[in-house]
Amino acid sequence: MTIPELTEALENICSGKNNAYRAKQIFSWICRGSLSFDTMSDLPQSLRTSLEKYACIRGSKQKKRLLDPDGTNKLVLELHDGKCIETVLLPAGNGRYTACLSVQAGCPMACVFCKTGSMGFLRNLETWEIADQFLFLAGELAEQSKALQKEFRISNIVVMGMGEPLLNISPLRKALDILCDPLGFGISKRKIIISTSGIYNGIVDLAENGPLVDLAFSLVSAREELRRSLMPGTINEPLSKIKQALVLYKKKQGRRITLETVLLGGINTTSEDAKAIITFASGLDATINLIPWNPVDKLLYEGKKLFRPETAEIQNFSRLLKEGGLRVTQRYRRGRSINGACGQLGEA
């Protein structure tokens, strides 16, 4: 709940005059990691007792924790209905971490190179199920800080986990409002990236209504036919319309746009692919983020196993894009040993 919603809830369970103040106290306790209302020592005992009967603090349970040698944490969370999701904590250097959040159980987009896409769509997550992920990750980091006697903090959020964020925008928007509240975690919305496979209406909604965050568009291929075969869920989202939406987003929000391209060996790394991306990126002032494919067992394209491109293939593709005047970066691989890297969630 947001603080105003907490205040309204308190009106329904007690007749105190300080409900707005109490709501802020409860909100702060939850963000500091409290797992029980009884530990909220500055609340009246009668209120704590009522809260224990009225509500729970977290609706998910931690089922599994996996740790990569590079410092990446992956948590498998069990939802109230038994479905499971995954969320990842990524080290960003200097004691800072990035929280990678999921928005759906499974995914309807069915991208052939993504483990989550192979699971099918189970359901959208509710606001609390999105916020819960951050709370669990923050708890992991607090334990690490205590054990190592060092200060660690989550400074960034990437909505790049399981599911398509723009098909569940309202619960996500509210969850980000909660996580960005200065009385709680105070995450700056300028430190948040939402990644989408390309949902025209969703990008327009973001442009018109916020939140004011960076946007990453999973382009993969700017050749329409190839893109649709690799990302079947985009069949009704033509690139021409997506580009219109991206231009609107840039105009309305003034935020950075990244074009993400998962590189699949021998499939989307030709000179023709590079030329198509250069053409699509014209006028967007976007950065191209190359993501060499992270292996996932049993994923096939046209009956053949996918494979990661060779280093020379990656370098050549990057060179072609740069020669076309584009800014190019390459995603650093983290969490691969625990299947916590891009495209691997759901493989726990």
> Which residues, in sequence order, are CB contacts of 77 under 8 Å at separation 6+?
60, 61, 62, 63, 84, 85, 86, 87, 132, 133, 136
**The pLDDT of residue 291:** 96
Name beta bridge partners: 77: 62, 85
Catalytic residue among 86, 129, 164, 347: 86
342 is a catalytic site residue:
yes
Q: Give pLDDT, residue 294.
A: 93
Residue with tokens 């704590």: 48
**pLDDT digit string, tens, across residues 211-241:** 999 999 999 999 999 999 999 999 999 999 9
CB-based contact 1:13 (threshold 8 Å): no
Q: What is the pLDDT of residue 196?
A: 98
Q: Letter for the amino acid at 197? A: S
Q: For position 335, what pLDDT does the model report?
A: 87
CA distance 204 to 166: 10
Task: Report residue 29 as tokens.
Answer: 């306790």
Q: Which tokens in the block code for residue 219?
A: 């382009």
List, in sequence order, every residue forming a beta bridge with 162; answer none if it has no partner. none
pLDDT, tens digit, 9 for 90 and up, residues 287-327: 999 999 999 999 999 999 999 999 999 999 999 999 999 99
Give the residue from 31, 89, 82, 39 showing the smallest Cα distance to 65: 89
Query: Is the CB of residue 111 less than 8 Å from the CB of residue 197?
Result: yes
Tell me what the mean pLDDT of segment 119-148 comes to.
Answer: 94
Report, as an integer, the average pLDDT of 191-195: 97
Using DSSP bridges, classify how beta strands 73-78 and 300-301 pair: parallel, antiparallel or unpaired: unpaired
CB 241 within 8 A of CB 234: no
End-to-end alpha carbon distance in the chain: 30
pLDDT in tens, 72-93: 999 999 999 999 999 999 999 8
Q: Which helix (H) or strand (E) holds 344?
A: none
pLDDT beyond 90 at 256:
no
Position 333 pLDDT exceeds 80: no
Confidence of residue 331 (pLDDT cuts 50, 70, 90): confident
Whether the ω angle into residue 211 lies within 30 degrees of 0, i.e. cis, is yes
Beta strands (DSSP E) in 164-279 are 192-196, 214-218, 257-263
Cβ(261)–Cβ(289) under 8 Å?
yes
Q: Per-residue confidence at 17, pLDDT binned at 50, 70, 90?
A: confident
Residue 180 catalytic? no
Q: How does the average pLDDT of the chain come out, rounded?
A: 94
pLDDT at 149: 82
In whole angstroms, give the CA distance from residue 80 to residue 58. Answer: 10
Q: What is the pTM of this model?
A: 0.95
Q: Band the pLDDT of 255: cuts 50, 70, 90.
A: confident
Q: Residues 31, 84, 111, 342: which is the catalytic one? A: 342
How much of the chain, in percent, has pLDDT values that exceed 70?
A: 99
Integer-rounded Cα Rg, in Å, for the chain is: 21
Place of tokens 């990691």: 33
| 283, pLDDT greater than 80 | yes
pLDDT at 64: 96
pLDDT per residue over 287-297, tens digit each? 999 999 999 99
Topology of the domain covering 61-338 = TIM Barrel (3.20.20)
CA distances from 115 to 56, 158, 294, 297 (A): 32, 18, 10, 8
Residues 6+ apart with CB under 8 A from 186: 180
Lowest mean pLDDT among 121-125, 145-149, 301-305: 145-149
pLDDT for the residue numbered 115: 96
Check residue 334 and give its pLDDT: 84
pLDDT of residue 65: 95
Helix, strand, coil share of the chain (percent; to 5)? 40, 20, 40
**Angle, to 10 degrees, between the axis of helix 311-323 and the axis of helix 271-281?**
40
Read off the pLDDT band of 14 (50, 70, 90).
Answer: confident
Q: Give the residue among 333, 345, 328, 229 at the shortest CA–CA distance from 286.
A: 328
Residue 289 has φ and ψ, to the nearest 5°, of -105, 110
Q: Would you call 150 helix, strand, or coil by DSSP? A: coil
Question: Could you state, in order of their start, the residue ranges of all structural domains in the chain?
Answer: 3-54, 61-338
What confidence score (pLDDT) does residue 13 get?
82
Instruction: Give the whole-angstrom CA distance, residue 237 versus residue 202.
Output: 11
